[in-house]
Amino acid sequence: MTLELFLLAAAALFCIGLFGALTQQSIVMLMMGLELMLGGVILAAAAVWHFVAPAATDGQVLVVLAVTVMAVEMAVGFAVVTALFRTREADMTDEAAELKE
Amino acid sequence: MLDDVVFWALAGPAVAAAVMVFRFASMARATYALLASLLCVGGLVVRLGLDYLGVVVVLMMTIEMALMGVFMVMFMMNPAGLMPMSMLHNRRGAAVISGGVFVLLAAGVLLTPWPRRRGEPAADPTKALGESLMGPHMLTMMTLGLALFATIVATVVLATRRGRYDRFGDDLRARRAGDRGDGGDGGARVRGGAGP
Amino acid sequence: MADTAPLWAVVLLPFALVAAAAVVAGLDAVLTAAAERGRGGRPLRAAPAPLRTGLRLLGGQPRRTTAGDPWLGRIGIALVPVAAVLAGAVLPWGFRAVTDPVVGVVWFNAMEALAWAAVWLAGWGPNSALSLIGGYRFLAQGLAYELPHMFAITTAALGAESLRVGEVVAAQRGLWFAVWMPAAFAVFLLSALAMAFWGPFDHPLGRDAAGGAAAEHAGVDRLVLLAGRWLLLVVTAGFSVPLFLGGGHGPWLPAWAWTLLKTAAVLGLLVAGRRLLPTLRMERYLEFAWTVLVPLTLLQALVVAVVVLNR
């Protein structure tokens, strides 16, 4: 159990999430990619707290922040998808791009 | 030794489940693979000595993913993955970008001379977190609270099409809301909004 | 105060919980028989009925449906009793729990949430409309009960100024929390029923949806799902004892006897009380929960916070 191992695992999660967020056409799947990226951030923040500066609470606050961002991201994402679907029957990013026309 | 075993037993499935999120054709499977991955992250956070935050991650992610499953099934054309099809775009570019980011991150992780551990964790990290959120980090807490409140308002505005005038009539005097009894807004729309 | 129990308790815990669940199911069967046949119908003979049903299900053939997702469904079914037992690990028996983690109260809540998500999986698995409707109903029900439930649990932890279950019990040496947090206690009992999707909250397995989430499950699958539901009821009712009813504290009798007595009393109240209420529809309970119960529990938490600050 070393800091490097934890950070590598976090980076792997982050990049898998990034790949998903960039490739998925469906907005809901895209949000799953974002959740994975934030999962990586949580892991990295907790690891840095534990291995570098356990006396300060900043690492913990960062985890709280990331968890809140996840909740907000999901709530807003679903609301936007619902609104988009209502008006245009669109649930894909490419279709949403046509809305500006 | 035991620590290493636990680390690999949690980190391995976390990454494997993360990969499977984008490989499963069934949306329910994808959602719960994501949940499995995030539960492993929660377990790792507990192993790092942050009991409270780790269990909160488990609690919140379970609730989030259960709800996410509903939206996945609602909005996807092919939720059960019975007719596998590709819903991807820009695969090569994404692979290059995310691969590049991983190489950069990994290089940074391995090449950085990390400082040595300074200080010991507080006897009760949860209490320390609470005190710092209510003290030096008060601004963070207030911002988070405000952001959450704004989210509640914004999501309700975005997701609902009917306001109280639709439910209770033009002068808000209908005794029962128009959308009660039939569940959702389906029945009320047929009956023209105001309650009976 | 609360020490960790020896290792054999880990092995014993699931069996003890299953035995308690069987006894409660038997009591429910007796009450049902008494209501249907009257006293002359020898209602006590119905007590082993749940065991008979369980044995019959054990020998039954699991049902296969076309294009289902049996693996996901089975994971969901198995997760219900597993989550119940994991939540039961922090239940103190007297003053000893199998484990007493620093954040035991949050752990309990997280395991309940896991069971909640598992029921949707059980409904999704068989690829059947009615069972999926049952799963959706439980998700909607969760939105209704989970918030007041969390606030009620938080209130008890606030009164003890600790998230450790042992310390919550220790804080009730003099006065039980149920006495000065009656609103939180009542809300907890309501959500204990809702959590086990049982009694007035059995809409997810309702008859109008042909059995809801359990509709397509037969044989062992069905046994595990329904037994998991009884386990959830026992565990959530049992958790009200350390949270609100003083745990093992009480005069004359030893601590373990008080725990047993109080748990039995709460379970008896829930089992007998469900006969007085019809099944509640989710959207009605949701409206009640969010407009009445959430403000009520928040006020209760405020009162407790003021008391704690002035102590």
Q: Measuring CA to CA, which residue among B1, B12, B2, B18 is closest to residue A5? A: B12
Residues of C in contact with B25 (CB under 8 A): none
Locate the domains of chain A by residue range.
3-90
Neighbours of A5 (CB within 10 A): 15
Give the number of domains in chain B. Answer: 1
- State pTM to two decimals: 0.88
Which B residues 24-63 touch C at CB under 8 Å? 26, 28-29, 32, 35, 51-52, 55-56, 58-59, 62-63
For residue A61, give the nearest of B56, B140, B154 by CB distance: B140
SS3 content of chain A, % helix, strand, coil (to 5): 85, 5, 15
Residues of B in contact with C163 (CB under 8 A): 52, 126
pLDDT for the residue numbered B122 = 84
Q: Measuring CA to CA, which residue among C26, C156, A47 is closest to residue B117? A: A47
Task: Report how far residue C96's alpha carbon sits from residue A40's, in angstroms, rounded to the nearest whole number.
Answer: 37
* Cα separation values, C309 from B124, C159, C304, Å: 20, 10, 9
> Are the C-beta atoms of residues C85 and C144 closer than 8 Å to each other?
no
Contact residues, chain C to chain B, C-beta under 8 Å: 67, 69, 72, 75, 101-103, 106-107, 109-110, 113-114, 116-117, 120-121, 124, 127, 136, 139, 142, 146, 163, 281, 283
Say yes or no for a CB contact (<8 Å) between A81 and B75. Answer: yes
Say yes or no for a CB contact (<8 Å) between A57 and B106. Answer: no
* Residues β-bridged to residue C96: C93
Backbone φ/ψ region at B124: left (φ over 0), alpha (ψ -120 to 50), beta = beta
Cβ-Cβ contacts under 8 Å between A and B: the total is 229
Sequence-distant (≥ 6) Cβ neighbours of residue A66 within 8 angstroms: A38, A41, A42, A45
Handedness of CA C201, C206, C211, C213 (dihedral sign): negative
- Average confidence (pLDDT) per 10 residues, chain C, 311 residues: 67 87 86 79 78 83 77 89 91 82 91 91 84 86 90 92 88 86 91 83 75 76 89 92 85 84 90 82 82 93 92 80
Return the top range by mean pLDDT from B87-101, B129-143, C39-53, C200-214: B129-143
Establish if B183 touches chain C: CB-CB under 8 angstroms: yes
Q: With helix as H, strand as E and coil as C, how does chain C read?
A: CCCECCCHHHHHHHHHHHHHHHHHHHHHHHHHHHHHHCHHHCHHHHCCHHHHHHHHHHHCCCCCCCCCCHHHHHHHHHHHHHHHHHHHCCCCECCEECCCCCCHHHHHHHHHHHHHHHHHHHHHCCCCHHHHHHHHHHHHHHHHHHHHHHHHHHHHHHHHCCCCHHHHHHCCCCCCHHHHCHHHHHHHHHHHHHHCCCHHHCHHHCHHHCCHHHCCCCHHHHHHHHHHHHHHHHHHHHHHHHHHCCCCCCCCCCHHHHHHHHHHHHHHHHHHHHHHCCCCCHHHHHHHHHHHHHHHHHHHHHHHHHHHHCC
For residue B58, give the nearest of C72, C110, C121 by CB distance: C110
Distance from CA of B95 to the nearest CA of C (A): 30
pLDDT tens profile B36-54: 999 999 999 999 989 999 9
Chains in contact with C, counting 3 or more C-beta pairs less than 8 Å apart as contact? B
Task: Report how far residue C149's alpha carbon sits from residue C56's, in angstroms, rounded to the nearest whole number.
Answer: 36
Give domain status of residue B58, yes or no. yes
Tokens, residue C281: 């529809």
For residue B60, give the nearest of A23, A60, A67 by CB distance: A67
Distance from CA of B128 to the nearest CA of C (A): 13
pLDDT for the residue numbered B171 = 79
Q: Measuring CA to CA, which residue among C185, C131, C97, C145 is closest to residue C292? A: C145
pLDDT for the residue numbered A19 = 93
Residue A89's pLDDT band (cuts 50, 70, 90) = low
For residue B34, give the nearest of A11, A36, A64 by CB distance: A36
Instruction: Please indicate whether chains C and A are in contact, defined as at least 3 beta carbon pairs under 8 Å.
Output: no
For residue B120, give the nearest of A28, A33, A54 by CB distance: A54
Domain limits at B18?
A: 1-80
Residue B194's pLDDT band (cuts 50, 70, 90) = very low
Say yes or no for a CB contact (<8 Å) between B126 and C163. Answer: yes
pLDDT tens profile A22-38: 988 888 888 899 999 99
Give domain status of residue B26, yes or no. yes
Residues of B in contact with A94 (CB under 8 A): 89
* Residues β-bridged to residue C4: C97
Distance from CA of B152 to the nearest CA of A (A): 8
Q: What is the ipTM of this complex?
A: 0.87
Task: Report how far residue C18's alpha carbon sits from residue C230's, in angstroms, rounded to the nearest whole number.
Answer: 8
Could you tell me which chain B residue has the CA closest to the CA of C114? Answer: B62
Give A17 or C56, the one with higher predicted confidence.
A17
Residue C293 DSSP code: I
Could you tell me which chain B residue has the CA closest to the CA of A89? Answer: B75
pLDDT for the residue numbered A101 = 55
CATH of domain A3-90: 1.10.287.3510
Give domain status of residue B72, yes or no. yes
